[in-house]
Structure 1
Amino acid sequence: MQVIVRDFVEADREALRQLFVVSRDAAFSWAVIGSHKLEDFDMSTAGERILVAEHSCHPVGFASVWQDDSFLHNLFVHPRYQGLGVGTMLLAGCDKYFSGAPTLKCLKANERAKRFYQSQGWRVRSEADGPEGPYFLMEADPRQQV
C-alpha cells in the first residue's frame, strides 16, 4: 500500500473531520457513540501543524502538532488502515516539527495507542487525570531517536 504524508490543505478538512469522528468512536470504545462531533476536529487542531496520510488521493490518517511545545496532540488513523504502518509514517513526518523533546498524552483506557507509542520508542513520563479521564504523559525516548 502506497501512502504519502503531506501538509494539510483546507480541502482536507471535511474528510478529516469525518475520519476524526470514526477513529475516535472506534478507539474510545468506552465513550458514548455520537459523543464525538465533526466540529471537534476544528477545535482539537486549531493553531496546530497538521499532517495528512493519503492513500489513492484519500486521507486515511492525520497527526497534529503544537509546535511551540513539541507536543503531539492528535494522531488518528482510519480503523480500516490501522496496523499497516500509517501511524508510523505520520509519527516520522512529525519529527521535523519538534523543536525539543516531544511529548503526548495518551488516555490510560486507550491501551492500543499506548502499545503503539511504546513500539515507536516513547515511554511513560508521568500519569495524571484530565477531562477525558486518566492519562499517561509520554515522551520520545532520546535513546530511540535517530
Structure 2
Amino acid sequence: MTWTIRPPRAEDQEVLAEIYLSVRRQTFVWVDPGKFYREDFAAHTNGETVFVCEQENGGVAGFLSLWPADDFIHMLYIRPEFQGRGAGTALLQALPEWPQHRYRLKCLVKNRRAKAFYLAHGFRLTGNGASPEGDYEELSFFPL
C-alpha cells in the first residue's frame, strides 16, 4: 500500500480526534473508557507537530504527533484496519532527519503490540516510569 504523509488540514480535526478516541478505547482496555474524550486530541496535541498518514484513496489511516523541542514522539495512532500494513512505518520515516536523528517516546508496558513495533524499528529501552494509564517504558531511537 502507498501512503502519503502530510500536515493536517482543518477538515482533518474530527477524523483525527475520532481515531485518537477510538484507538485508545480499543487498545487501553485496562483504563475506564469514560476517561477518554473526543476533545483530548486538540488538548493533547497543542503545540505539537502533527503528521497525517493518508491512504491512496485519500482516507486518513492515522497520525503521529511530535514535540519537536525534545524530539519526543508523543503519539502514533493508526486505525485498526490499517495496523500492520506500513502506515506506522511511513509516519516514522517522515520524521525530520529519520533515521539520522535521535527520537524518544513512552510506551505503556501493557501495550505489547506497540512496544514490539518500536523495537522492530530500532528503538531501545532507556527508562521507565508510571502514568495515570499505567506503567510505561521510555524507548529511544539512536541514529544509525
Range moving further from structure 2, 95-104 or 67-76: 95-104
Contact 2:93 2:99 in 1 (8 A): no
Q: Which amino acid aligns with 2:42?
A: D
Q: Aligned in 2, Cα 1:97/1:12: closer, same or farther, shift over 3 Å?
A: farther
State the secondary structure of the residue aligned to 2:24: helix
Contact 1:70 1:98 in 2 (8 A): no
Structure 1's consecutive aligned runs of 4 or more residues displaced over 3 angstroms after TM superposition are 95-100
Q: Which amino acid aligns with 1:124?
A: L
Any idea what the Cα deviations from partners look like across 1:63-106, whole Å, max 9, x if unmatched? 00000000000000001110001000011112448996211000
Q: Distance in 2 between matches of 1:70 and 1:96?
A: 11
For the aligned residue pairs, the C-alpha RMSD in angstroms reads 1.8
TM-score w.r.t. length of structure 2: 0.92
Among all aligned residue pairs of Structure 1 and Structure 2, give the percentage whose two residues are the same amino acid: 35
Contact 1:70 1:99 in 2 (8 A): no
Please name the residue that 1:40 is paired with. Answer: 40
Q: Which amino acid aligns with 1:113?
A: A
Q: Which runs of 5+ in 2 are unaligned?
A: none
Contact 1:65 1:97 in 2 (8 A): no
Q: Distance in 1 between matches of 2:28 and 2:20?
A: 11
Q: Which amino acid aligns with 1:81?
A: F
Contact 1:65 1:73 in 2 (8 A): yes
Contact 2:3 2:53 in 1 (8 A): yes
Shift of 1:53: 0.4
State the secondary structure of the residue aligned to 1:94: coil
State the secondary structure of the residue aligned to 2:14: helix
Please name the residue that 1:74 is paired with. Answer: 75
TM-score w.r.t. length of structure 1: 0.90
State the secondary structure of the residue aligned to 1:2: coil
Which structure features the higher share of helix residues? 1
